[in-house]
Structure 1
Amino acid sequence: MTSDTLPPAESPCQPCGACCGYSENWPRFTTEDDAALDLIPEQFVNAKLSGMRCDGDRCSALTGQIGVATACGIYQLRPEVCRTCQPGDPECAMARRRFGMAPLALA
């Protein structure tokens, strides 16, 4: 199993999910080619075809409760913006603060 199939069980992302609920403007498509975007199920893509569809600020592919237990419904197909967000990076810290969670320590 690689990092592109499922996050490791010890990943701090699964009990968090803050980055996926931070802003409807965050999960934007940037470097994906058309072939990669075509793999993302249509129900998860916004009407402008510019990013992930959100319910409020929360990505529609996110399941579970932020800060408790979450998962990505399209983890294997997630866009590049989701792949580049890393535990403990500045974007992670900003999203965690919004939900009242302490920043993660970088390893």
Structure 2
Amino acid sequence: MGQASYDCQACGACCAYSPEWPRFTLEDDETIARIPPAFVDDAAGRMRCDGNRCTALKGDIGKTAACSIYPVRPIVCRDCEPGDEACLMARAHHGLPA
């Protein structure tokens, strides 16, 4: 399947796969400061998660999903593309079709 066949707003699997995924890697302090502090886990250097799920994710996995901080989301989130390896791995984890 091509990338166009995946709708992130009807998925959200990548945002609820692992607390290690929403890790800050290339962000500078100024970029991280744009993210509301309630969503940042400073001690771990990543987005705050509730279990495996990023706390910025709103909605239900596989139904309707949205990032509540989309314009300022971390680079790792920007880099995840619909239908790429990470996307398909997260979808499989949640039992969603590839």
Scaled by the length of structure 1, the TM-score of the pair is 0.84
Tell me how many residue pairs correspond in the alignment.
94
Counterpart CA distance in 1 for 2:28 and 2:41 is 17
1:67 matched residue in structure 2: 62
- Which is richer in strand? 2
User: Residue 96 of structure 2: which of 80, 101, 106 is its match?
Assistant: 101
Q: Aligned-pair RMSD on alpha carbons?
A: 1.4
- Describe the superposition over 1:66-104 as per-residue Cα deviations: whole angstroms up to 9, x where unpaired: 00001000000000000000000000000000011112x
Q: CA deviation at 1:49?
A: 5.1
Instruction: After superposing the two structures, state which structure 1 stretch, 10-19 or 58-67, moved more.
Output: 10-19
* Correspondence 1:53 to 2:48: yes
Q: CA deviation at 1:34?
A: 1.0
Counterpart CA distance in 1 for 2:28 and 2:19 is 21
**Paired residue secondary structure (2:76):** helix
Task: Please list every run of 5 or more consecutive structure 1 residues that lacks an aligned counterpart in the other structure.
Answer: 1-9
2:23 matched residue in structure 1: 28
Q: CA deviation at 1:11?
A: 6.3
Distance 1:91 1:11, change over 3 A: closer
Q: CA deviation at 1:42?
A: 0.5
2:13 matched residue in structure 1: 18
**Paired residue secondary structure (2:59):** strand
Counterpart CA distance in 2 for 1:96 and 1:20 is 10
**Paired residue secondary structure (1:64):** strand
Query: 4+ residue runs of structure 1 moved beyond 3 angstroms?
Result: none
- Which is richer in helix? 2
Task: Please list every run of 5 or more consecutive structure 2 residues that lacks an aligned counterpart in the other structure.
Answer: none
Equivalent residue letter for 1:12: D
